Amino acid sequence: MALPYSPELNPDELVWNHVKTHRLGRTVVKTKEALATRARSALRSLQKSTDLIKRFFHESHVQYVIT
């Protein structure tokens, strides 16, 4: 039996939403490799933003993760 997926409860989705909205958004890429390179770069940059990452886990709908 497959369990229903609830992306709003998954902190990873907040990370991807941030990357898509603030880093990759309307970026034009011509190859899969270019997209992968840009995504890795965005994630590495985000990795250095510990305050922002902490804020993801303080969103009310993902509070269950830190309790």
Look up the pTM and report it.
Answer: 0.69
| pLDDT grade for 37, boundaries at 50, 70 and 90 | very high
| pLDDT grade for 3, boundaries at 50, 70 and 90 | low
SS3 of residue 31 by DSSP = coil
| Integer Rg of the chain from CA | 14
Cβ burial, residue 9 (10 Å; 0-12/13-18/19+): exposed
Decide if pLDDT at 2 tops 80. no
Per-domain residue ranges of the chain:
8-66
C-alpha torsion 23→29→35→41, nearest 10:
-40
Tokens read off for 27: 């970026």
